[in-house]
C-alpha cells in the first residue's frame, strides 16, 4: 500500500519532463518522475541541436558540466536536386562567444546528465517503469497513475504528461487524439564516427566550432520532409525525415531514403571513411499550431512533443519542450504555494503564460505552413529545387552562349514547368503563411 | 534466514570492441549491466526469502558507479545493498577479489547477521573464471555447491539444503549443511519485475558503502593490483575465421544429397571412415 502522495508526477524523462521535474524539485515540491527507458536518454532521439536559451532559463550554469559536443558557428541551408545543391551559408565568428547560442549534442549523454541534475534537485526518478493509465476519481479528476509494475495507484495532485509525440497515456485517457499520419514526420538518423581532426579539417572548424546543414529538395523524392547533417565532437549525425502519410503513399522506406541521401554527391565526401556507430528513428510532431491538443484538465497538463510543440520551419523542438515543461512546472508551483487546487480552470494559467512566450507566438505565426507545404509538396520538394538547380547551372556554365539568352532560358524553364499564375500563387501563399 | 548475493557490475560485452590498432579493450562509453549470471542467483535468493522469510543482502565490489547496479537489485526486491569501494581494490584479480569480499562478508555477518547462504552467479561475463565464488567459500569455510541448477529442498531445522548440480554427463543430487555458498547456473529461473512499492523504496534507499578500513582490512598488500598474482601478459582480438561455408549440391533427391555429404566428410577427414567401420565391426 502506498500511503504517500506526491505534489506532482511527471510522466517521461525527455527534455520537457526533465525541465518540469527539475523546476518542481528545485522549488521544493515532492516530485515523482516515471520513465519507461532504462535511463533518461536511453529511448530519446533527436538530431540533435541544443538551444542554449531555453536550458539557461532552467539551469543557468549548465555549460559547466553538461556534455556538449560543438557550438554552432556555421549554418548551411541547402536546396538539393539529384546531382547538386544550391546553398546559403552563414558563418560568423560572433558565434564564438563566451556563452554560445546553439550546440550539437548526443541525446543519450545529454539526457543522462539532465536526469542526474533532476535527481540532485530532489526528485525521485523511477526508470524502467511505464505509466499505463491515469487514475481518475468519480468527478473525472486525475488523481494519480498506474504503472506496468504490480501494486497500487500512485497518487499526486497533478500529473504532467511529458510522454512524447506518441503519448499513449494521454490518448488512452481521451485527453488527446491519436496523432494523425499527416501531422507527424518519421525521421531516421545515423551517427558516424570520424576522428576529431578529420571532422575539423573537413568542415573548416577550429576547436569546438560546429557546422549545421539543413537540406531539402529532391532528396525526399517528392515527399514533405527535410534532411540534416550535424558535426559532433568526433562524429557526424546525419538524418532525413518525411511526413508519415507521404511514406505510406510513396511506398519508399525511410532507410532507403537515408541511404540515398548519404550517397548524394554533396554528402558522400563529408561522410567518407566514417564508421556508423548508431542508428535511430523517431516521430516528430509537425502539425504545428492547429494540431495542438487541449493542454490542461482537472489534475493534468501536457508538455513537450505530446502537445505538438515543434516548430517545423525552424527545426526547433527541444527548446519548446523545455520551455513548456518549465512553464507548466512554474504554474504548478504557483498554484501549490497559493494552496489552490489543480483544476482545469486554475491550470489554464499555463496556456495563458505560454501564449506570451515565443512558443505560442512562433507556432501561431507559422500555422499555415504545414498544410501549404504538404498540399504543394510536388512543387516545393521536387519542381522548384530542380528549377533552381538548373538555373544555377545555366548561369554558371561558360559555354559560348550569351547572357541574355541564358536569362531567357532560365525564365523559359520556369514558365514551361509551372504557369506564372501558379508560381505567383505559391509565392503569395508562402509569404502569407510566413507572416 | 539471511541470504547474501554477490553480484558484479560488468561492461555489456555485447557492445565491447577491441581497438583495431592497440588491441586494448575499448571500455569508454560501453554501458554497464549486472553480470547476467548473477541475476539467476538473485532471483533464487529472493524466492527462498519469500518462501522461508528473512532478508536478502546484495554485495558488490566496484567503482562508485556500481551503486546503480545495486539500486537495481533493490528494485527487484532485495532488502539491503552493500557497496565495497576503495581505490586500494582497483586491479583485483580473483584472489584479491575473494579476499575483499570475504572480509566484507565478515562485517555483514557482524552488522546484519551471519549469512546462512551466499549466492553468486556461476561466473562473470567479463572474467569468465568462475573462481570468486569458490574463493569466498574457501576463505569463510562455507560448504560450496557450484553449478546449481535447482534448489530441491531446504530444511531450516536440520540446517540442510538439497540441490541439483549440473555435472558432465548428468545431474548430481547433493545435500549439505548450512552455511553454504551456491553458484547458480543460468536459465534456472526468470528474474521477477519488482513491484511499484519496491521501485519507490529502491529509488530512495541508501546504498551501504564501505572501504577497506571499514571492513577491517589491515594488510593492504592483499588488495587490488598488489594482492593479485595474475598478470595479463597480452590482449589480442581473435582473428576472424577465414574458411567459408561450402554449398554441397547433388542430384537424386535426399539419398543422393546424403551420399554426396558423406563423401565430402570422408574426403575431408579420412580418419572418420575407418573409425566408423571399426565401430560397426565392434558392435
Q: Which sequence spans correspond to the domains of chain B?
A: 2-222, 253-282
Residue B173 has pLDDT above 80, yes or no: yes
Q: What residues have CB less than 8 Å from B268, skipping those under 6 apart?
A: none
Average pLDDT over residues A243-251: 93
CB atoms within 10 A of CB B264: 13
Residue A2 has pLDDT above 80, yes or no: no
Query: pLDDT confidence of B243, banded at 50, 70, 90?
Result: confident
Q: Say if B203 is an interface residue toward chain A (CB within 8 Å).
A: yes
More confident residue, B241 or A212: A212
Query: pLDDT confidence of B112, banded at 50, 70, 90?
Result: very high
Average pLDDT over residues A233-253: 94
Average pLDDT over residues B235-251: 80
Residue B179, min C-alpha distance to chain A (Å) = 34
Q: Give the C-alpha separation, A366 to B88, whole Å.
A: 61
Fold of B2-222: Rossmann fold (3.40.50)
Nearest CA-CA partner of B235 in B20, B31, B30, B33: B20
SS (H, E, C) chain A: CCCCEEEEEEECCCHHHHHHHHHHHHCCCCEEEECCCCCCCCCCCCCCEEEHHHHHCCCCCHHHCCCCCEEEEEEEEEEECCCCEEEEEEECHHHCCCCCCEEECCHHHHHHHHHHHHHHCCCEEECCCCEEEEEECCCCCEEEEEECCCCCCEEEEEEEECCCCCCHHHHHCCCCCCCCHHHEEEEEEEEEECCHHHHHHHCCCCCCEEEEEEEEEHHHCCCCEEEEEEECCCEEEEEEEEEHHHHHHHCCCHHHHHHHHHCCCCCHHHHCCCEEEEEEEEEEECCHHHHCCCCEECCEEECHHHHCCCECCCCECHHHHHHHHHHHHHHHHHHHHCCCCCCHHHHCHHHHHHHCCHHHHHHHHCCCHHHHHHHCHHHHHHHHHHHHHHHHHHHHCCCCCCHHHHHHHHHHHHHHHCCHHHHHHHHHHHHHHHC
Average pLDDT over residues B236-265: 86
ipTM: 0.79
Nearest chain A residue to B193 by CA: give it.
A149
Mean pLDDT (chain A) is: 92
Q: What residues have CB less than 8 Å from B103, skipping those under 6 apart?
A: B215, B216, B217
Average pLDDT over residues A286-314: 93
Nearest chain B residue to A108 by CA: give it.
B29
Nearest chain A residue to B17 by CA: give it.
A277
| Among A37, A40, A149, the residue to mutate for chain B (most B Cβ within 10 A) | A149
Residue B239, min C-alpha distance to chain A (Å) = 20
B199 and A154 within 8 Å at the Cβ level: the answer is no
Whole-model pTM over 0.90: no
What percentage of chain B has pLDDT greater than the value 70? 96
Q: Say if A128 is an interface residue toward chain B (CB within 8 Å).
A: yes
Question: Which pLDDT does position B244 carry in this prediction?
Answer: 80
**Chain B residues within 8 A of A126 when measuring between CB atoms:** 199-200, 203
Which domains does chain A carry? 5-67+105-177+293-365 (3.50.50.60), 182-285 (3.30.9.90), 369-434 (no CATH)
What percentage of chain B has pLDDT greater than the value 90? 71
Amino acid at each position: 500500500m502506498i500511503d504517500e502522495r506526491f505534489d506532482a508526477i511527471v510522466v517521461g524523462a525527455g527534455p520537457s519532463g526533465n525541465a518540469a521535474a527539475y523546476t518542481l524539485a528545485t522549488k521544493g515540491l515532492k516530485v515523482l518522475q516515471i520513465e519507461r527507458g532504462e535511463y533518461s536518454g536511453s529511448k530519446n532521439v533527436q538530431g540533435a541541436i541544443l538551444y542554449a536559451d531555453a536550458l539557461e532559463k532552467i539551469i543557468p550554469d549548465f555549460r559547466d558540466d553538461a556534455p556538449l559536443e560543438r557550438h554552432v558557428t556555421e549554418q548551411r541551408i541547402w536546396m538539393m536536386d539529384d546531382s547538386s545543391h544550391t546553398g546559403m551559408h552563414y558563418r560568423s565568428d560572433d558565434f564564438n562567444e563566451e556563452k554560445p547560442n546553439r550546440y550539437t549534442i548526443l541525446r543519450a549523454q545529454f539526457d543522462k546528465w539532465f536526469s542526474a541534475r533532476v535527481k540532485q534537485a530532489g526528485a525521485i526518478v523511477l526508470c524502467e517503469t511505464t505509466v499505463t493509465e491515469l487514475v481518475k476519481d468519480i468527478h473525472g479528476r486525475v488523481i494519480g497513475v498506474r504503472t506496468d509494475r504490480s501494486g497500487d495507484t500512485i497518487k499526486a495532485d497533478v500529473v504532467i504528461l511529458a510522454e512524447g509525440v506518441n503519448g499513449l497515456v494521454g490518448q488512452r485517457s481521451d485527453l488527446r487524439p491519436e496523432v494523425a499520419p499527416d501531422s507527424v514526420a518519421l525521421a531516421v538518423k545515423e551517427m558516424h564516427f570520424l576522428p576529431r581532426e578529420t571532422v575539423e579539417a573537413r568542415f573548416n572548424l577550429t576547436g569546438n566550432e560546429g557546422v549545421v546543414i539543413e537540406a531539402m529538395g529532391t532528396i525526399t523524392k517528392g515527399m514533405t520532409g527535410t534532411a540534416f547533417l550535424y558535426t559532433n565532437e568526433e562524429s557526424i549525425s546525419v538524418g532525413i525525415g518525411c511526413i508519415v502519410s507521404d511514406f505510406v503513399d510513396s511506398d519508399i522506406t525511410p532507410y532507403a531514403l537515408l541511404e540515398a541521401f548519404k550517397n548524394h554527391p554533396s554528402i558522400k565526401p563529408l561522410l567518407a571513411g566514417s564508421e556508423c556507430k548508431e542508428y535511430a528513428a523517431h516521430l516528430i510532431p509537425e502539425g504545428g499550431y492547429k494540431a495542438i491538443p487541449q493542454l490542461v484538465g482537472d489534475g493534468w497538463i501536457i508538455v513537450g512533443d505530446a502537445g505538438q510543440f515543434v516548430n517545423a520551419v525552424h527545426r526547433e523542438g527541444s527548446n519548446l519542450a523545455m520551455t513548456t515543461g518549465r512553464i507548466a512546472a512554474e504554474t504548478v508551483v504557483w498554484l501549490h504555494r497559493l494552496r489552490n487546487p489543480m483544476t482545469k480552470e486554475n491550470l489554464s494559467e499555463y496556456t495563458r503564460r505560454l501564449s506570451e512566450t515565443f512558443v505560442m507566438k512562433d507556432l501561431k505565426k507559422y500555422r499555415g505552413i504545414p498544410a501549404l507545404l504538404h498540399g504543394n509538396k510536388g512543387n516545393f520538394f521536387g519542381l522548384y529545387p530542380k528549377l533552381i538547380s538548373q538555373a544555377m547551372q545555366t548561369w554558371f556554365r561558360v559555354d559560348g552562349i550569351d547572357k541574355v539568352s541564358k536569362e531567357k532560358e532560365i525564365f523559359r524553364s520556369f514558365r514551361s514547368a509551372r504557369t506564372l499564375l501558379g508560381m505567383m500563387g505559391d509565392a503569395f501563399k508562402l509569404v502569407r503563411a510566413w507572416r | 534466514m539471511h541470504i547474501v548475493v554477490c553480484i558484479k557490475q560488468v561492461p555489456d560485452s555485447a557492445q565491447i570492441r577491441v581497438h583495431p590498432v592497440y588491441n586494448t579493450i575499448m571500455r569508454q562509453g560501453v554501458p554497464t549491466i549486472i553480470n547476467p549470471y548473477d541475476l539467476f542467483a538473485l532471483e533464487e535468493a529472493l524466492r527462498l526469502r519469500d518462501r522461508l522469510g528473512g532478508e536478502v543482502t546484495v554485495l558488490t565490489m566496484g567503482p562508485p558507479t556500481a551503486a546503480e547496479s545495486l539500486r537495481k537489485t533493490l528494485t527487484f526486491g532485495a532488502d539491503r545493498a552493500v557497496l565495497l569501494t576503495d581505490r586500494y581494490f582497483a586491479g583485483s584479480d580473483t584472489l584479491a577479489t575473494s579476499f575483499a569480499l570475504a572480509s566484507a562478508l565478515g562485517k555483514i555477518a557482524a552488522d546484519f547477521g551471519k549469512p546462512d547462504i551466499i549466492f553468486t552467479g556461476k561466473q562473470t561475463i567479463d572474467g569468465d573464471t568462475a573462481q570468486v565464488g569458490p574463493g569466498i567459500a574457501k576463505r569463510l569455510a562455507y560448504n560450496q555447491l557450484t553449478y546449481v541448477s535447482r534448489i530441491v529442498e531446504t530444511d531450516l531445522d536440520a540446517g540442510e539444503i538439497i540441490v541439483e548440480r549440473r555435472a558432465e554427463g548428468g545431474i548430481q543430487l547433493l545435500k549439505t549443511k548450512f552455511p553454504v555458498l551456491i553458484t547458480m547456473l543460468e536459465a534456472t529461473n526468470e528474474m521477477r519485475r519488482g513491484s511499484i512499492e519496491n521501485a519507490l523504496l529502491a529509488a530512495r534507499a541508501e546504498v551501504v558503502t564501505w572501504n577497506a578500513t571499514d571492513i577491517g582490512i589491515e594488510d593492504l598488500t592483499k588488495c587490488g593490483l598488489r594482492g593479485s598474482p595474475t598478470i595479463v601478459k597480452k590482449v589480442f582480438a581473435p582473428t576472424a575465421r577465414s574458411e567459408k561455408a561450402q554449398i554441397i549440391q547433388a542430384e537424386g533427391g535426399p539419398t543422393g544429397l546424403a551420399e554426396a555429404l558423406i563423401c565430402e566428410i570422408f574426403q575431408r577427414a579420412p580418419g572418420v571412415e575407418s573409425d566408423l567401420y571399426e565401430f560397426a565391426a565392434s558392435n
